[in-house]
Chain A
């Protein structure tokens, strides 16, 4: 094969392959120029920020940059060395410099992430650092007994390098013990793994409910005549056109204890005034409201797939002897799979990232992993927020991979 093709030449004697490549290169360059703006847009608005986020989750130079002397001491002395006078001298020298450069807040914050409650230790020590006299070890411990604790020195050691796994440890409910070994945090503080699981399970439930509701709606839309289906489509899309908060608030008005639904039930005598059903400020509320908000994302891909399934398939199946149930199960349902997959993936990924709605209507159950990401964002702990987001991203990608293995990504039809 190769022999023949390489020996082929164009009329003017150029090798055919080279001529072909030259002819196609022009077209390729044009095509690339056409997509270049989009490519640039994606890189600037998507890939760079995500890369930066992931970098933040393993990189924090707040302490390492501000404490060069200590960093030097840590690299000179192996882990487990009891801090000597030289270490304390380095610490004091760094504190003095930190005060001058106004970096003590950031440095203390970095240690505080690993060992909570230590930030003020640094800020107050820095304030007094200039008046400290050797021997520094005694002086520091006299300032606050905390300065003598191995745990604090362990935290400083692990923060002395800007590259750290600390944030992923925290994000998985773990911490470094004073001897450097990784242990689980006390039980009353374990929250992230539990929240990850809860977020994924809840999103799964919402996805499933959306699928159950969207399937008949999409089928109706796909089979009704255009004029009627357009009207129905508007009803489906209506939630899209209302602000998120308005929708959420309307659900609160409907579902709360003194809300419309309960009032109707009470006035009909179906439930007693003291037996009002709790439909909001709990898991049920989260599921109802999220399902409502995300339903269009399930309906649309399903609809676009169902629209293309010709009624002749069902007729063929019936003529071949299948009952209507068999026809649905073996002929119709498998053909909607690409739509179901796309819708489920969309709804699931969106559900995983929602936090305002569950926070407003979920009550004590409304805390999901995204709420904590938002919390840490607002408290400037971007590294932990990034670590949590990174884990969320991995979780979603894992799911995507699983979907590809089970269903096949080529079977995805988004519209």
Chain B
């Protein structure tokens, strides 16, 4: 990432639009630059347009409008087999009638590579995913995790600069998935390849990516590093889609610089940081992460507004205690308490006051 200017634009979506039926747009005016060596994740619910973007990049779908550039070259009209992009599919798509070795040899054979060179590359790729001894097996004889590794090796064996992954871990169980996340991340770092990763699993997106593009409704809602995404969501959709989130609807009472005072429907006033609200009287949705909610006055900044809350339920979860509260008339306000020695015990029916740092409460669009 030293020669920043060129490498920052390794993959470029330039005003890309896509429609399947000529009536509605699946992808609406997409602009996205991906740097060389970056691990970028496209995250979003199904139907948000993220997979379509990936398919356009791979060449299986054509953009209705706009331009996609790879390393400075417009690839709109380049057929998929000439793009030199590695791809890992959701269901692995290992050729069932070929052995592992034949699967890996396939991309090398179609490139006209000699036998000895092929064998060396296959061995290297298999070793990379610790599957060297499975070369003569058929895909059907492998477990899901093993198939996933082979699919990965096959996408990498011909040394593509860009690798696309379409929900590659979706079919694995939780433990294996976490392990594979680590391995993919590790491969990405050692090989220095660029990865575009599509998933609807926010945990996966947060742990693996350099940057995450959150898709909804055919648009990128926010493009940011994981920490920014979690802590500073740009809008209600992102706030809600990423992590757990308390929502308090209200109206802007006061607005001054980076501080806002919001009056809730039930009349209480709370502090918030204005994000995409611009004027007094505007409707807003205040978003607060459960772990940032405080009920001890000493933990809150001086002069912070507090609000009455009734404890409805305390759920013991091991490392944390999850407290469900009735706040401003709604029954689903959640507060997370660290399970530390000497932590205050709360019990259902108890009345407390809750509050927070103003920068933890973000006044967003009302959706």
Contacts and interface: CB of A to CB of B under 8 A. Distances in A.
Assess A/B contact in the complex (Cβ within 8 A): yes
Contacts of B58: 315, 319
Interface string B1-34: 0000000000000000000000000000000000
A323 B91 CA distance: 22
A149 interface: no
A232 interface: no
Contact of B91 (A310, A322, A330, A337): A310
Given A310-B91, A312-B91, A315-B60, A320 B97 contact: no
- Chain B contact surface mostly: loop
A331 interface: yes
Interface in A297-340: 310, 312-313, 315-324, 326, 330-331, 334-335, 337
Contacts of B168: none
A315 B107 contact: no
B89 A316 contact: yes
Given A310-B93, A319-B81, A334-B97, 8 more contacts: A312-B93, A316-B89, A316-B93, A319-B59, A320-B106, A320-B107, A321-B110, A322-B107
A320 B110 contact: yes
Contact of B97 (A310, A321, A335): A335
Contacts of B79: 318
Interface of A: 310, 312-313, 315-324, 326, 330-331, 334-335, 337
Nearest to A313: B93
The 6 closest A-B pairs by CB, nearest first: A320-B107, A316-B93, A319-B87, A312-B93, A318-B80, A334-B97
Contact of B81 (A322, A334, A337): A322
B165 to A, nearest CB: 11
Given A320-B107, A321-B111, A335 B96 contact: yes
A335 B80 CA distance: 22
B100 interface: no
A302 B218 CA distance: 38
Interface residues of B, number: 28
Query: Which one of A310, A316, A317, A319 has the greatest number of beta carbons of chain B within 10 Å?
Result: A319
5 contacts: A310-B93, A319-B155, A320-B106, A322-B106, A335-B96
Nearest to A335: B97
A391 B28 CA distance: 70
A240 B177 CA distance: 50
A319 B85 contact: yes
Nearest to A327: B81
A315 B81 contact: no
A119 to B, nearest CB: 60
B95 interface: yes
B354 to A, nearest CB: 49
Interface in B84-115: 84-87, 89-91, 93-97, 106-107, 110-111
B158 interface: yes
A318 B110 contact: no
A315 B164 CA distance: 12
Contacts of B84: 321
B283 interface: no
Nearest to A322: B110
Contacts of A322: 81, 106-107, 110
Contacts of A324: 81
Nearest to B82: A321
B328 to A, nearest CB: 49
Contacts of B158: 320-321
